Copies of this chain bind each other. A is one copy, B any other.
Amino acid sequence: MTSIEVNPDLQKERSTCTFNIEELTNLLDTGVEHTAKRRALEDKIFNLKELKDVVPEEFLSHKDKYENAIRKAVILHTILQSNGSIKNISDNLDKSNFRSTSHSIFKDGSPFLLHFSMFVPTIVGQGDDEQKNYWLEKALKMEIIGTYAQTELGHGTFIRGLETEATYDENTEEFIINSPTPTSYKWWPGGLGHSSNYCIVMAQLKIKGKSHGMKPFVVQIRDEETHMPMPGVKVGEIGAKLAFNTVNNGFLGFDNVRIPRRHMLMRFSQVLKDGTFKSSSNPKLAYGTMVMVRVTIVNTACTLLSKAATIAIRYSAVRHQSQLKPNKPEPQILDYVTQQHKLFISIATSHAYMFCSYWLWDLFTNYRNEQNDGNFGRLPELHALTCVLKVISSKDCTALVERCRLSCGGHGFMLSSNLPQLYGLSTAACTYEGENTVLLLQTARALVKAWDQASQGIALNPTMAYLADRTPAGPWNSSLDGIIKAFQKVSVGKLSSSVSSFHEYAKSGLSMEDAWNKASVQLIGAAEAYGRAVVLSVYKAEVERYSKIVSSSLQTVLSDLLEMYIIYMALETTGDLLLYTQLSEKEVKALQRRYEDLLEKIRPNAVGLVDAFDYRDEVLHSTLGSYDGFAYEHLMEEAMKSPLNGEPVNQSFHKYVKPLMKGKI
């Protein structure tokens, strides 16, 4: 970083930091070479004048926001292409790319987001070789721009309920794509509104009156020359949202649109010319993409949180308020223990889920190799695991992003802080790619099944193995391993308790389905408890693994954060720990004391820890969180960019207000 003038408060924090910030950055990037690569691309993109907004996006109309985003998306794409980042897009799906920041030129998302994150991967994953050859070349060169349409107005997570139909006509060798009801309109796909001319449409395959389930079809939705909607295609955007407003989410309806037979992606099942349906491989293979998407959501969640934490902690280091002691200067608000309590957990949670996402990625990669050898053994566990980790990472990180925002007081309400937008981007993950409650219920089903298997003596997969140990909790052990063990006991206790409730309801005369429904509040609690137990042990194992390769000063800081995280979680869970372990009132007090000591220990490193996330100002987009710490100056500069401030008197004064004041209305 070139030398810039920095707020003395931040200078002080940085100079007293006890560890090497760069070392932690390299660790988070999974290697010094990845830090270098990331920064090289950042230099290329963020120094480009054409990509900087003159009028901040939040002042523009919905339509102007879109047009500006398209402009930037096209520029960004040409840079990435010239940089060689596009050609090998399928190779890019690696954990070392999790921290790539080029998309941060969009505060609110790119209209081409789904082209790269869903259209291309679906062709790669579900097209046969000929189809891949045909579509991929066009897509990677952006001769066509695509998106992926699954969710409909009337149905989301419940995929079987989707209504769009693809009926095969063997006479013409075509599929007829149709939207039979208003609720069957596709709704939500990014880039669908006005940006894409092709779309992978998930539709119910029907052949000779028989349904064959949801299949992917490549459908041209706009003319390649004029961009006008194709005949029979109704397409547009769905309107303004809490976030992702530049993503151009759209709706799509079909009035019996015909497409060639070979536009169905045929890697996993085929429709022959005569209408014969063939399903050639294990349907479990199709789960892979979904599992992978959920791994990346865990990473996205903590990325958003780490940005919010960076903003809130830097601001808390430069904001002075009130008095801790009479006749002393106003302290940095970061010196208030309540503020530390609000904020430090966000650093630790960012680490916890970041490390978890790397771990999960490796697990997924291993599984993919096993799968290629025909071994699907870990799929149920991996499914339950990615479901619950998607849920608790999105839930925790969203809550903490908001806590960071609120910790900045009123100024966190300003869009120029970027905290409200980070909240919007974060909370979206609670409902997209599987609504959180539905996913928890799926995890619960897997757990109940594992519970029964364990009762029958069947061995469980590694992350669930502890469910087989039904011995009561031993004496309270306040070591980190002891606390993690206690969380496993909570998980066992809650699962056991919800299973008995389920059985009791069934015995009392309810059908199995009604009994399950009535116990479902408890069942989702049990699913979440499983997720907590996993995160705690993975976070600890990863820190221990890293400890062997980092300096002792960094090791200390990582361990402090880990310990604080575990104790914080225990204090949040006292109700369950008191029920299912031998935790006592005295031990609760000791944990509280230990927590308060840890906040004090972490305080001097707080700014260093968020600096280590290494977000450039162009990535943070925040008046409150800039590297130089001149929050007030930036707040005023940004306010002055409001077009309302471009003229001293707004026209509405003469038109409306003056006549009112003069009694002339």
| Interface residue ranges, A against B (CB under 8 Å) | 56, 58-64, 66-67, 70-71, 73-74, 77-78, 141-145, 151, 153-158, 161, 182-183, 185, 187-188, 193-195, 224, 226-229, 236-243, 251, 320-325, 330, 335-339, 341-342, 402, 406, 409-410, 412-416, 420, 424, 427-428, 430-432, 435-438, 441, 497, 501, 511, 513-514, 517-522, 524, 573-579, 585, 588-589, 592-593, 595-596, 600, 632-633, 635-636, 638-645, 648-663, 665
Q: Which residues of B contact A592 (CB under 8 A)?
A: 501, 521-522
| Interface pair B251/A656, CB less than 8 Å apart | no
| Interface pair A242/B660, CB less than 8 Å apart | no
| Interface pair B62/A59, CB less than 8 Å apart | yes
Q: Once bound together, how far apart are the Cα atoms of A3 and B526, in whole Å?
A: 47
| Interface pair B145/A517, CB less than 8 Å apart | no
| Interface pair B649/A194, CB less than 8 Å apart | yes
The 8 closest A-B pairs by CB, nearest first: A574-B575, A575-B575, A58-B240, A242-B420, A70-B652, A61-B61, A158-B322, A236-B645
Q: Once bound together, how far apart are the Cα atoms of A577 and B585, in whole Å?
A: 11
Which of B323, B338, B431 meets A437, CB within 8 Å? B338
**Nearest CB in chain B: distance from A509 CB, A:** 13
Which of B336, B435, B643 meets A61, CB within 8 Å? B643
**Nearest CB in chain B: distance from A393 CB, A:** 15
Which B-chain residue is minimally distant from A195 (CB atoms)?
A: B657
Most buried by B among A427, A441, A595: A427
Q: Which residues of B contact A323 (CB under 8 A)?
A: 158
A77-B660, A241-B415, A660-B78 given; A236·B644 CB < 8 A: yes
| Interface pair A633/B575, CB less than 8 Å apart | no
Which of B142, B645, B656 meets A660, CB within 8 Å? B142
| Interface pair A143/B661, CB less than 8 Å apart | yes
Which of B78, B151, B662 meets A665, CB within 8 Å? B78
Q: Which residues of B contact A645 (CB under 8 A)?
A: 193, 236-237
| Interface pair A237/B644, CB less than 8 Å apart | yes
Which of B63, B436, B600, B642 meets A643, CB within 8 Å? B63
Q: Which residues of B contact A640 (CB under 8 A)?
A: 236
A62-B58, A239-B416 given; A653·B409 CB < 8 A: no
Q: Once bound together, how far apart are the Cα atoms of A145 and B656, in whole Å?
A: 13
Which B-chain residue is minimally distant from A408 (CB atoms)?
A: B431
Q: Once bound together, how far apart are the Cα atoms of A188 and B409, in whole Å?
A: 12
A575-B578, A578-B578 given; A251·B639 CB < 8 A: yes
Which of B78, B431, B520, B589 meets A413, CB within 8 Å? B431
Q: Which residues of B contact A243 (CB under 8 A)?
A: 413
> Could you write out 13 A-B pairs with CB less than 8 Å apart?
A59-B240, A61-B64, A62-B642, A70-B652, A71-B652, A158-B321, A227-B649, A238-B635, A324-B513, A406-B427, A413-B428, A413-B431, A518-B596
| Interface pair A644/B194, CB less than 8 Å apart | yes
Which B-chain residue is minimally distant from A658 (CB atoms)?
A: B227
| Interface pair A239/B321, CB less than 8 Å apart | no
Q: Which residues of B contact A600 (CB under 8 A)?
A: 518
Q: Which residues of B contact A324 (CB under 8 A)?
A: 513-514, 517
Q: Once bound together, how far apart are the Cα atoms of A88 and B435, in whole Å?
A: 50
| Interface pair B321/A74, CB less than 8 Å apart | no
Q: Once bound together, how far apart are the Cα atoms of A520 and B229, in whole Å?
A: 61
A59-B63, A62-B58 given; A239·B656 CB < 8 A: no
Most buried by B among A414, A513, A522: A414
Q: Which residues of B contact A437 (CB under 8 A)?
A: 338-339, 342
| Interface pair A183/B242, CB less than 8 Å apart | no
Q: Which residues of B contact A154 (CB under 8 A)?
A: 320, 632
| Interface pair B336/A520, CB less than 8 Å apart | yes
**Nearest CB in chain B: distance from A107 CB, A:** 12
Q: Which residues of B contact A66 (CB under 8 A)?
A: 644, 650, 652
**Nearest CB in chain B: distance from A325 CB, A:** 5
Q: Which residues of B contact A67 (CB under 8 A)?
A: 650-652
Q: Which residues of B contact A650 (CB under 8 A)?
A: 63, 66-67, 70, 194
Q: Which residues of B contact A654 (CB under 8 A)?
A: 227
Q: Once bound together, how far apart are the Cα atoms of A464 and B23, in whole Å?
A: 53
A70-B656, A441-B338 given; A236·B642 CB < 8 A: yes
Q: Once bound together, how far apart are the Cα atoms of A603 and B223, in whole Å?
A: 50
Q: Which residues of B contact A402 (CB under 8 A)?
A: 427
**Nearest CB in chain B: distance from A289 CB, A:** 20
Q: Once bound together, how far apart are the Cα atoms of A64 and B195, in whole Å?
A: 26
**Nearest CB in chain B: distance from A11 CB, A:** 19
Q: Once bound together, how far apart are the Cα atoms of A243 and B410, in whole Å?
A: 12
| Interface pair B406/A430, CB less than 8 Å apart | yes
Q: Which residues of B contact A414 (CB under 8 A)?
A: 238-241
Q: Which residues of B contact A660 (CB under 8 A)?
A: 74, 77-78, 142
Q: Which residues of B contact A574 (CB under 8 A)?
A: 575-576, 578-579
| Interface pair A322/B240, CB less than 8 Å apart | no
Which B-chain residue is minimally distant from A225 (CB atoms)?
A: B658
Which B-chain residue is minimally distant from A663 (CB atoms)?
A: B141
Q: Which residues of B contact A430 (CB under 8 A)?
A: 406
Q: Once bound together, how far apart are the Cα atoms of A518 and B655, in whole Å?
A: 57
Which B-chain residue is minimally distant from A60 (CB atoms)?
A: B61
Q: Which residues of B contact A632 (CB under 8 A)?
A: 153-154, 182-183
Most buried by B among A67, A577, A657, A659: A657
Most buried by B among A342, A437, A654, A655: A437
Q: Once bound together, how far apart are the Cα atoms of A323 and B514, in whole Å?
A: 11
| Interface pair B661/A517, CB less than 8 Å apart | no
**Nearest CB in chain B: distance from A406 CB, A:** 6
**Nearest CB in chain B: distance from A50 CB, A:** 12
